Structure 1
Amino acid sequence: MGNWLVGGSSGLPSVPADKLEEFIQANLKPNEECLKLIDQDVDAISVFLRSRDIPVMRVAKGGSYGRETVLRGCSDGTLVLFVDQFHTFKEQKENQNELLNLIEQHLKTHEKYNKPANLGGILLSTQGQEIHLQLLPAFDPLCCGEIPRSRVYRDLKRSMDQVEAVPGEFAVCFTTLQQQFFKKYPRRVKDLILLVKHWYHECQKKRKSSLSLQFLYALELLTVYAWEQSCPAKDFDIAEGAKTVLGLITQSSQLCVYWIDNYNLEDETVRNTLLCQLRSQRPVILDPTDPTNNVGKDDGSWQMLTEAAQAWLDSPSLKNVLPAPRWNVLPTSLFITPSHLLDTFIKDFLQPNKDFLEQIKGAVDIICKFLKENCFQDQSTKVQKTVKGGSTAKGTALKSGSDADIVVFLSSMKSYGSQQNQCSKFVQEIQKQLEDFQKNQKLEVKFEISKWEFPRVLSFTLKSRSLNESVDFDVLPAYDALGQLRSGHTPRPEAYKELIAWYRSSDLRGGEFSPCFTELQRNFIEPRPTKLKSLIRLIKHWYKQCERKKKSKASLPPKYALELLTVYAWEQGSGMDKFDTAEGFRTVLDLVIKYQEVCIFWTVNYNFEDELMRSFLLTQIRKKRPVILDPADPTGNVGGGDRWCWHLLAEEAKEWLSSLCFELPKKSDSDLERRIQPWKVPVVQTPGSCGAQMYVPPLWVECS
């Protein structure tokens, strides 16, 4: 057992990553029985004060004690006494000290009274656990703890201006909300908070500086933010969480963290207060219960913590561990990024760097080599070719969250029918071979169990010491319908004739054979201007934010649909290599909002000239909106009609119209707020708009 496990002095960087949880349980988590005894003392003090004619309406527990983030040994707490003689924030400021003196006079007669030297409040202790409990009489603006209305925060801002209060001076009035905010998070998140707080204690000891309770609160909120944004399960890897929080600390100059659980942008006064905070100098970590309280404001500690965080990240215990990657969490939100900084946001947070691209290439090479050399060695089936698809092949991958698609074209798949009938068999064979392969390699492969009885794709996560983080793979066996594609030529017509015939004769969903056309999907996006691909990254990031907020099990449209919608918006609205990113973003959201009208398609690989294709396409574009046809596969309507919950995405898009992304800077103080406008883009495309001059049956007119 290492000395770190028994409270040794080596410090956290010496604790092995896989032992961090054990360290928390052994050194940081307080004894439950001790906390129960302290709870009894706190309740007794509350009853005692009420019996002394102090007009206490209710009591709230705050600080680490109230948030259930108490460290073993000595920790902080607050006992907020909401009194009925304070009717406004102003009265609290004017009379709080007088009432506090009265309370302390009464407390001197209480058996548990033990005042810490040079500090207010009382010190409660039992069996090695101490809590320094501050007592604060306060005004109750919440009417017995109800969720605050905008009026409460309007009154707060007005009162602060009247009495010239410092930001956060009345945060104590919202202690109940703070307690409720932390109560909803799993115990494991609070254990991670204990680890981060202990690390801060260690840093301050080395620096020989006193602890800042506000800074401790800021670190607690940053830890919550890291977990919340990553959207992991309740049972997560502590080392991954620690690395993520440390990574955010190293980006403190870009940190802007906030919540809208209790206040939002709807009320003008609250909106102005919130926006003023969000535009202020970084780091910003807003108290989720008080929009005036930036608990992350730099007091000179951030530089020291940034260096200490980087040192821990570079320590062998975290740097050389497998897997324990960081979660994909950005230090700031897209929602509050001004329109003129969107390109910078993409470059800083979404654009893959050289290391990322090399990592993906390395991972793909590992799998492709395995597929060609290790699969089907003793069988008649051969791998004809492998094709890289998905966002990495198109050049639209996001910076983090590595993913790669590989389509394997097999010699024994000679038709769409054989792909449908044999695909599951080959998926199982590839998995079996990969399981055997990894036993003799320095690889770790984690398979995702398919919900389908006969899976047609093998999904797995590849981890290797040669890779900085894990890479998610989808391997799809497919029929080589296209054959040898020649540059600048359309696919052989027979490929689509066979596809349509098979589609019409079966009950399969459209797009079932889209892996066969991966090269065409890649070629449709890959040659596009760099800035358009950057806009696609921005839309995909926005989509992920919407996905994270989704609480129901309803399915959102596929990301590919948003990708195609973005290409269409650019083609119809700009078409230039250089354009305003905010305008493009705004246009895509506008199309999402109008999803019930959308009907778009392309004729780069198929068109209306052939009678069979013409008839099929007209049938496709008459379907329930939205209709977004895959330019590589005419059976693939990724708009899906009512197959997916476009309305949820549309609701999010409407909310985002009020974001800073679409706000133009004011030219003067008297200037009204100006908003970015979308490009003028038709939501309905017709065969005529694609240059196919032909008679369109009345049914098309009715549908459009």
Structure 2
Amino acid sequence: MLAVESYHCERCGSDFVSCMALKYHFRRRHLGKVHCENCGQEVLREKLQDHSKSVHDRSTMETHKLNWENLEERNIKHKATKISKTCRMCSRCFGTVLSRENHEIQEHHFTASKRAQMSAGFSLHNMLECKSPQELQRFADEKIHPASGPLRAACVAEIAVLVQRIQDCFPVRDPRVIQAGSYIKGTDTRGCSEIDIVLFSDVFANANHCKKQLREGLDALRKNLKQTSYGNRILMGKRAPLSLRFNFLCTGSLHSHSFEIMAYYDVLGPTPSADLKLHLYRKLYLCKDSDEAQLCALALLPYQVDFVKASVGRVKELVRLVIHWFKTSFANPTEENKFRRLPSSYTVELLTIYVWELAGKPLLFSLVQGLRAVLKLLVQYTEIDIVWHRHYHRKFPVFVKVNQKHTRPFILDPVNPTVNVCDTCNAWDEVAHVARCSLLKPLFSRVRAEPPWLFTNNW
């Protein structure tokens, strides 16, 4: 059988049977147009300024629209629990990653060329177009790092008041409040800030009692928050069985914070013993109810926060760059691959910390070298095998059993030996493809590994 040559449009991904057809398509659809930096839409070059003013006006109404989109992304992300074996086209679950990939090829014709077409989607003014470390630093300061100075102080003050409101509005007296998320860990980016609030209370006798009372308590909290003075700046998300999600808009900076609020009984307490932690690990390993396991794992949230916060500030800058890379280098999912899930922000944080530790934990380092190291590791994702032993011993039975049957990529949660955080992604092959393409961009042109990053030469 003769192979039919196809001609591929680099702008929109359409295929044509002849060069003439591709040229006609380009003249008709793309000639004289440029991509809008904000939304990616193609606009006539002379009308780009009018488009920016009319579509991207920073009014409160448009900001709320943007906040809703961010909230939807967070809702989708929280569905990603051990989905590495689910099809990214139809969400069907399989026993192994290999069987899932075979299904995608046979049933959905998900070939290598189709994966390349559906995965990469670099924004027009991507940070990868920077041509020097100094230019990358300026880009990060202007477009990635969260606001500083008075604007940051205003955010901190408003968030503190809102957290107190949440504690007061929850229909349980004096709950112990735990805060987590990128905002608390210091890895939030401009326009993307996550805050997780956990309300621990002894009112809940056990997991089953908590699940019965949780929906009623979260509904009451939702109603009470909307009646506060902050109610008009709270955009509620879809109802979830175990949590309350909403976006909150700060007045001064029009910066949106994505909240998720959960509640559970205080399994560990503020100062748990080592034996109590080991008991919780065994309970999580043996638990067959995914909802109960999710609630029990909330007790480990403070230790996850401490693990990330212990990194130096330069590492958090690198984390922001990697998160920004994920947001600006991948094509948006379509109706065809709407079940595609990329790695969670927590997975990104752990992967970046690991690379930094391999470099010897330098206090100061080149962001270009650090980003290049992370991308090179993502290219060979099947070799990722990361374990920390700060919270459990190598011979701890639960760890031994989990470690024996793990599949790669494997990043064991440093505070929970039962969770491979890589299981929240079913598109590692797409991540590797986009990372490979990224390493060919101007930012890494003629860049070679320098101390302390020489270990990346083996990748």
TM-score, normalising length from structure 1? 0.48
Q: d(CA) in 2 for partners of 1:145 and 1:324?
A: 41
Q: Which amino acid aligns with 2:229?
A: Q
> In the alignment, does 2:277 pair up with 1:473?
no
After TM superposition, list the pairs within 5 Å mapping 1:302-701 onto structure 2.
Answer: 318=59, 321=60, 324=63, 332-340=125-133, 341-354=135-148, 355-376=150-171, 381-413=172-204, 418-419=206-207, 422-423=210-211, 425-444=213-232, 445-450=234-239, 455-463=241-249, 465=251, 468-485=254-271, 492-508=274-290, 513-551=296-334, 552-553=337-338, 554-608=340-394, 614-622=396-404, 623-640=406-423, 644-664=426-446, 675-676=448-449, 679-680=454-455
The 1:465/1:334 distance shift into structure 2, 3 A limit, reads: closer
Judge conservation of contact 2:379–2:436 (CA < 8 Å) in 1.
Answer: yes
The 1:586/1:442 distance shift into structure 2, 3 A limit, reads: closer
Judge conservation of contact 1:427–1:458 (CA < 8 Å) in 2.
Answer: no
Q: d(CA) in 1 for partners of 2:455 and 2:63?
A: 47
Q: d(CA) in 1 for partners of 2:257 and 2:185?
A: 17
Cα deviation, residue 442, structure 1: 4.4
Judge conservation of contact 2:196–2:260 (CA < 8 Å) in 1.
Answer: yes
Q: Which amino acid aligns with 1:372?
A: Q
Q: d(CA) in 2 for partners of 1:424 and 1:398?
A: 36
The 1:182/1:558 distance shift into structure 2, 3 A limit, reads: same
Whichever of the two has the greater Rg, that structure is 1
The 1:635/1:436 distance shift into structure 2, 3 A limit, reads: same
Deviations 1:58-84 (A, max 9, x none): xxxxxxxxxxxxxxxxxxxxxxxxxxx
Unaligned runs of 5+ in 2: 1-17, 36-40, 71-122
Residue of structure 2 equivalent to 1:219:
49
Residue of structure 2 equivalent to 1:302:
none
Judge conservation of contact 2:314–2:364 (CA < 8 Å) in 1.
Answer: yes
Which of 146, 149, 170 is residue 22 of structure 2 equivalent to? 146
Q: What secondary structure sits across from 1:243 in the alignment?
A: coil
Q: Which amino acid aligns with 1:368?
A: V
Q: What secondary structure sits across from 1:630 in the alignment?
A: coil
The 1:442/1:528 distance shift into structure 2, 3 A limit, reads: closer
Q: d(CA) in 2 for partners of 1:527 and 1:405?
A: 19
Cα deviation, residue 429, structure 1: 1.8
Q: d(CA) in 1 for partners of 2:285 and 2:158?
A: 35
Cα deviation, residue 365, structure 1: 2.1
Residue of structure 2 equivalent to 1:256:
none
After TM superposition, list the pairs within 5 Å mapping 1:79-98 onto structure 2.
Answer: none
Residue of structure 2 equivalent to 1:176:
28
Which of 242, 255, 265 is residue 56 of structure 2 equivalent to? 242
If asked which structure has higher relative contact order (CA below 8 Å, sep 6+), I would say: 2
C-alpha RMSD of matched pairs (Å) = 3.6
The 1:511/1:429 distance shift into structure 2, 3 A limit, reads: closer
Q: Which amino acid aligns with 1:515?
A: L
Q: d(CA) in 2 for partners of 1:398 and 1:539?
A: 11
Q: Which amino acid aligns with 1:654?
A: R
| Misfit runs of 4+, over 4 Å | 179-183, 325-331, 464-467, 509-512, 674-679, 681-684
Q: d(CA) in 1 for partners of 2:308 and 2:382?
A: 25
The 1:324/1:549 distance shift into structure 2, 3 A limit, reads: closer
Residue of structure 2 equivalent to 1:249:
none
Q: Which amino acid aligns with 2:236?
A: F
Q: d(CA) in 1 for partners of 2:456 and 2:439?
A: 17
The number of equivalent residue pairs is 373
Q: d(CA) in 2 for partners of 1:580 and 1:440?
A: 46
Q: Which amino acid aligns with 2:63?
A: A
Cα deviation, residue 345, structure 1: 2.2
Residue of structure 2 equivalent to 1:277:
none
Q: What secondary structure sits across from 2:258 in the alignment?
A: strand
Q: What secondary structure sits across from 1:362 in the alignment?
A: helix
Q: d(CA) in 2 for partners of 1:574 and 1:339?
A: 24
Cα deviation, residue 525, structure 1: 1.3
Q: d(CA) in 2 for partners of 1:646 and 1:543?
A: 12
The 1:144/1:421 distance shift into structure 2, 3 A limit, reads: farther
Judge conservation of contact 1:480–1:516 (CA < 8 Å) in 2.
Answer: yes
The 1:371/1:217 distance shift into structure 2, 3 A limit, reads: closer
After TM superposition, list the pairs within 5 Å mapping 1:111-126 onto structure 2.
Answer: none
Cα deviation, residue 575, structure 1: 1.2
Q: d(CA) in 2 for partners of 1:581 and 1:440?
A: 43
Q: d(CA) in 1 for partners of 2:374 and 2:144?
A: 18
Q: What secondary structure sits across from 1:387 in the alignment?
A: strand
Deviations 1:615-647 (A, max 9, x none): 211222231111111112222210229x62211
